[in-house]
Amino acid sequence: MSDTFKIDFDTLALPDGGDLVVCVGDDLGLGETAKGLLGDAGNAVAKAAAAERFKGKYKSILTIPAPAGLAADRLIVVGLGGGKERKAFDWVTLGAVIAGKIMGREATLLADFPGLDAGDDAIGDLILGARLRAYRFDQYKTKKKKKGDDDEKQEKGGRLTIATSDPQQTKKAAKQRDGLAQGVIIARDLVNEPANVLGPVEFADRAKELEKLGVEVDILDEKQLGKIGMRALLGVAQGSERPARVAIMRWNGAKKGDQPLAFIGKGVVFDTGGISIKSSSGMEDMKGDMAGAACVVGLMHALASRKAKANVIGAIGLVENMPDGRAQRPGDIVETLSGQTVEIINTDAEGRLVLADLLWYVQDEYKPKFMIDLATLTGAVLVALGQHHAGLFANDDELSTRLSAAGEATDEKVWRLPLAKVYDKLIDSKFADMKNTGGRHASAITAAQFLQRFVNDVPWAHLDIAGTGMAAVQTEINKSWGSGYGVRLLDRLVSDHYEA
């Protein structure tokens, strides 16, 4: 984890040791402030750049021994690019690039970015990127780093001091991102935890910790869930010795009576497939089948930390899908909370059963402005979109458009896929109101069609994050198996459109 990576703030001055980080454009020119501080030592940048064929391209780095006149150990020159490259420039990514270079060391960054307007928000985003890049999940490792091992894979911790003209103001702006960074880290931790450590009860306990931030949290146990009538959710859990839980989290940041926003997460802490058991190859990854629930907990932390001016509901269904003598079987019929019946065709299509009861419960109990669910729901979305976009399904064009824009802004991208009545035929059942799977063809769509039957007229979006929430693509800001996908996306959606 990244709690050993520290961020400090100081006035614009040269450090007495450690690394000194400066930024240049594609003309290799330093900013005026950096020029003044470095003096003659600044000439070493151009000389070293020529020798190393360093062009100052965006995200490129040149490391040289500190020239005479500097007390620093190393001079790290970071390229900001220029021209067309600036269209892709992102402050969060820049922070991640810098953090990746200084892991395990102490460094001072001169906050002088030639050709760029670096306000407090920009520096705040840079620090957010640095914190996310610094994240490591290694508490279960007992072996020490071996000499010669790759630094970034092994090193952790470090300290980055941001040197600015007004360090207190910069610190204040950066603090506004602390909750968001921690929210992503919480989501990553939850996804990365092994299932023997994080069962439904333990996951619910983690959600309960949000009460420290003023979030109201209710944990519903199996007896309560049975009384409510969440039979579909409980059916998934009945093959496991570990009891199901539902966590309902409420953040009241707007006026009493204002419609809440609702975020709902699939939390299958381990998915064997049940009686329809998965193959052994890659089954260990199924500890991450609760990435949707992890995102919701991380999001609630982020919103509460910055005291978001919105009323928000977070609901997560926590179960383990295991095969034993009590497990539900293919061919079983279960009555959902809505009263609709479902024929179980495949016990490995279990997440939609969990979400069906949660969606119905949340819309009936809280009358939300909208509902967004997140789930590592189908392998089919990986076939369709790979790991660079989450699948987006929605019954509301405005909500879909806003989610897409938030995805572009945070680089947690979504791609809208269709919903249509013709796909409903694939999940019609001879024996019940519907089947829980429509077969291989369009299976990401039929899963969304299934969920839509539990939504009625509430604006709703379903995010299939099977490709983005776990076994994630490695990026500048994420070197973790669990990405924490969705926390920044949904925080941005709320801040852009739904705060009072």
CA 446 – CA 441 distance, rounded (Å) = 9
CA 304 – CA 134 distance, rounded (Å) = 23
DSSP assignment string, 235-265: HHHTTSSSPPEEEEEEEE-S-TTSPPEEEEE
Pick the closest to residue 187 from 45, 59, 315, 295 (CA basis).
295
Class of residue 129 by CB neighbours under 10 A (exposed 0-12, middle 13-18, buried 19+): buried
Pick the closest to residue 437 from 343, 356, 373, 357 (CA basis).
343
6, 35, 57, 278: the catalytic one is: 278
User: On the CB side of 404, how many CA atoms lie within 13 Å of its CA?
Assistant: 13
CA 87 – CA 68 distance, rounded (Å) = 36
Please say whether the beta carbons of 97 and 78 come within 8 A.
yes
Concerning whether 250 is annotated as a catalytic residue, the answer is: no
C-alpha dihedral over 450, 455, 456, 457, to 10 degrees? -130
SS3 56: coil
Pick the closest to residue 453 from 393, 493, 381 (CA basis).
393
59, 131, 136, 352: the catalytic one is: 352
CA 131 – CA 112 distance, rounded (Å) = 20
CA 206 – CA 301 distance, rounded (Å) = 11
CA 326 – CA 341 distance, rounded (Å) = 20
Concerning whether 141 is annotated as a catalytic residue, the answer is: no
SS3 216: strand
C-alpha dihedral over 307, 363, 269, 156, to 10 degrees? -20
CA 234 – CA 13 distance, rounded (Å) = 61
Please identify every residue annotated as catalytic.
Answer: 278, 352
